[in-house]
Amino acid sequence: MSKLGTLYLVPNTLGDDGRVEQLPWVLPSETITQAAKLKHWIVEDAKTARALLKAIDSVAPLANTIQEMQMSEWRGAARNAKYGDAVKPADLLRPLLAGNDMGLMSEAGVPGVADPGAELVLAAHKLGAKIKPLVGPSSILLGLMASGLNGQCFAFQGYLPHDQHERAAKLKQLEIESRKLQQTQIWIETPYRNTVMLMACLNSLAPQSLLCLGIDLSLSSEMISTLSIAEWRKRYPNEAACASLQNRPTVFLLLA
């Protein structure tokens, strides 16, 4: 049997702007060098992937032109099925079977964390391929690091419900769990819902609970603040007051 290729998990930047300027801050030289060598890719979005690779090329020349690369998109089994795409993870990993190394790239941050790439990593394990995670930015960990909240016990909740009443109930549930376990609760939101989420937190959570907002992490516009709910209510008394937070990637962290 021929030797299997290695699946490299290649981090992406956390923002679209100024990728060339971001690279020295968020990706080690070893990560950039390895990414520049790869020809076979599985990505969440080809346009975003090409933008990162173009930035990498300005630092470490690509071994293959972007046009020569073999790039497949994967947005997760459930989402693919919804749009009638019957492709399976193993189908996308066939280059590994031929001995070719592959890169797996997320839309933002690190593959496999809050990212559909985890399904492909598991499939690669089942094939017996070597998995090599490369160092890069994770908004979840950056937010936790900078929050001052409990970094020994924490849970990532993904996205909370969109329904107003279900969202409020979930927030209260997370607050109870956080208080009981002294556990930092972490979640993310679609940026255009930031103000709605923040108002839900201010309306649903206890005044003494601590909430951290990690906004535009790793970008020049980065903002990180940890305040009690009572203090947040003074800063943002209504939705209009927090309009500047809208459409900016944000991580929410709670410790009751």
With b for 16 or more beta-carbon neighbours within 10 A and e for fewer, the 45-71 pattern comes to beebbbbbbebbbeebebeeeeeebeb
| Of the residues 92, 112, 133, the one at which a domain ends | 133
Identify the pLDDT of residue 120: 94
183: containing domain: 139-255
pLDDT digits (tens), the chain, 256 positions: 469 999 999 999 998 778 888 898 899 999 999 999 999 999 998 999 999 999 999 999 999 999 999 999 988 765 555 555 667 888 899 999 999 999 999 988 999 998 888 999 999 999 999 999 999 999 999 999 999 999 999 999 999 999 999 999 999 999 999 999 999 999 999 999 999 999 999 999 999 999 999 999 999 899 999 999 999 999 999 989 988 999 999 999 999 9
Residues 124 and 215 in one domain: no
Identify the pLDDT of residue 230: 98
Residues 128 and 157 in one domain: no
Kindly list the distances between the CA atom of residue 108 and the CA atoms of 2, 43, 74, 185, 198, in Å, as whole numbers in the listed order.
33, 11, 14, 21, 22
205 in any annotated domain: yes
Q: Give the CATH number for residue 155.
A: 3.30.950.10
Domain count, the chain: 2
Identify the pLDDT of residue 79: 58
Identify the pLDDT of residue 2: 62
Q: Give the CATH number for residue 79.
A: 3.40.1010.10
Identify the pLDDT of residue 82: 58
Residues 50 and 66 in one domain: yes
Do the beta carbons of residue 208 and residue 229 sit within 8 Å? yes
| Of the residues 133, 155, 175, the one at which a domain ends | 133
Q: From CA 152, how far away is CA 137, in angstroms rounded?
A: 20
Identify the pLDDT of residue 85: 63
Kindly list the distances between the CA atom of residue 138 and the CA atoms of 15, 98, 126, 141, 142, in Å, as whole numbers in the listed order.
12, 31, 26, 5, 6
Identify the pLDDT of residue 234: 96
Identify the pLDDT of residue 171: 98
Identify the pLDDT of residue 81: 55
1 in any annotated domain: no
Q: Is 103 strand, coil or helix?
A: strand
158 in any annotated domain: yes
